[in-house]
Chain A
Amino acid sequence: MSPLIIKGARVIDPAAQRDAKGDVFIKDGKFVASLSAADKKRAKKIDAAGLVACPGLVDIHVHFREPGQTHKETIATGSHCAAAGGFTTVVCMPNTSPVADNAGTIQFINDAIRRDAVVKVLPTGCITVGMKGQALAPIGSLKRMGVVAITDDGDCVQSNELMRRACEYAKMFGLPLMDHCQDHSMTQGAVMNEGVMSTRLGLRGWPNAAEDLIVSRNVILSGYTGAHIHLQHISSKLSVEIIRRAKARGVRITAEATPHHIALTDEALAGYDTNFKMNPPLRTEADRQEIIAGLRDGTLDCIGTDHAPHTDYEKDKEFDYAPNGILGLETALAVVLGVLVREQKFKLPQVVDLMTRKPAALLGLPAGTLAPGAAADLCLFDPAEKWRYDAKAGFSKSRNSPWHGQTLTGRVKTTLVDGRVVFDGAKIKA
Chain B
Amino acid sequence: MPWNRRHLLTLEDLSLAEIDQIHATAAAFKKILGRSVKKVPALRGKTIVNLFLEPSTRTRISFEMAAKRLSADVISFDAASSSTTKGETLRDTAQNIQALNADLIVLRHSASGSPLYLSRVLDIPVVNAGDGAHEHPTQGLLDTFTMREHLGSLRGRKVVILGDILFSRVARSNIHALVKLGAAVTLVGPSTLVPDWFTALGAKVSHDLKSALADAEVVMLLRIQHERQSSSHFPSLGEYTGMFGLNQTRAGWLNPKAIIMHPGPINRGVEIDSDLADGPRSVILEQVTNGIAVRMAVLYLCSGGQPEAVTTNAT
Contacts and interface: CB of A to CB of B under 8 A. Distances in A.
B141 to A, nearest CB: 17
Given A200-B200, A200-B201, A202-B169, A271 B132 contact: no
A196 B195 CA distance: 10
Nearest to B114: A318
Contacts of B114: 318-319
A203 B198 contact: no
Contact of A202 (B89, B117, B134): B134
Given A272-B117, A318-B90, A318-B117, A199 B198 contact: yes
Contact of A318 (B109, B135, B231): B109
Contact of A199 (B90, B195, B231): B195
Interface in B30-61: none
Contacts of A313: 89
Interface residues of B, number: 26
Nearest to A318: B111
A268 to B, nearest CB: 13
A407 to B, nearest CB: 23
A333 B197 CA distance: 35
A272 B112 contact: yes
A424 interface: no
Interface in B150-172: 166, 169, 172
Contact of B200 (A188, A199, A272, A316): A199
Counting chain B CB atoms within 10 Å of each CB, the highest count among A199, A316, A317 belongs to A199
Contacts of B200: 196, 199-200
A203 B169 CA distance: 11
B113 A203 contact: yes
A201 interface: yes
Contact of B90 (A195, A198, A271, A317): A317
Interface size class of A (residues with CB under 8 A): 10 to 19
B89 A316 contact: yes
Interface in B123-152: 131-135
Contacts of A203: 112-113, 132-134
A376 to B, nearest CB: 47
Given A313-B89, A316-B89, A318-B90, A202 B116 contact: no
A195 B134 contact: no
B227 to A, nearest CB: 12
A272 B89 contact: no
Interface string A83-127: 000000000000000000000000000000000000000000000
A321 interface: yes
A272 B135 CA distance: 14
A155 interface: no
B12 A200 contact: yes
B91 interface: yes
Interface string A265-278: 00000011000000
Contacts of B134: 201-203
Contacts of A316: 89, 91
A318 B172 CA distance: 20
A320 interface: yes
B109 to A, nearest CB: 7
Interface string A215-250: 000000000000000000000000000000000000
A196 B172 CA distance: 13
B132 A202 contact: yes
A196 B111 CA distance: 18
A319 B134 CA distance: 12
Contacts of A195: 197
Interface string A313-352: 1001111110000000000000000000000000000000
A316 B116 CA distance: 13
A202 B201 contact: no
Interface in A192-213: 195-196, 198-204
Scoring B113, B133, B200, B201 by chain A CB atoms within 10 A of each residue's CB, the highest score goes to B113
Contacts of B116: 271-272
Contacts of B166: 199
Nearest to B112: A202
A313 to B, nearest CB: 7
B133 A202 contact: yes
Nearest to A319: B113
Nearest to B167: A202
B211 to A, nearest CB: 23
B87 to A, nearest CB: 11
B261 to A, nearest CB: 21
Nearest to A321: B111
A79 B266 CA distance: 58
A196 B205 CA distance: 14
Contacts of B117: 272, 318-319
Contacts of A321: 111
Nearest to A271: B116
Contacts of A318: 90, 109, 111, 113-114, 117
Contacts of A271: 116
B107 to A, nearest CB: 11
A316 B114 CA distance: 11
Of A200, A313, A318, the most chain B CB neighbours within 10 A belong to A318
B115 to A, nearest CB: 10
B111 A199 contact: no
5 contacts: A196-B197, A199-B197, A202-B112, A202-B135, A320-B132
Given A201-B134, A319-B112, 15 more contacts: A196-B200, A199-B197, A200-B12, A201-B113, A202-B113, A202-B134, A202-B169, A203-B132, A272-B113, A317-B90, A318-B90, A318-B109, A318-B111, A318-B113, A318-B117
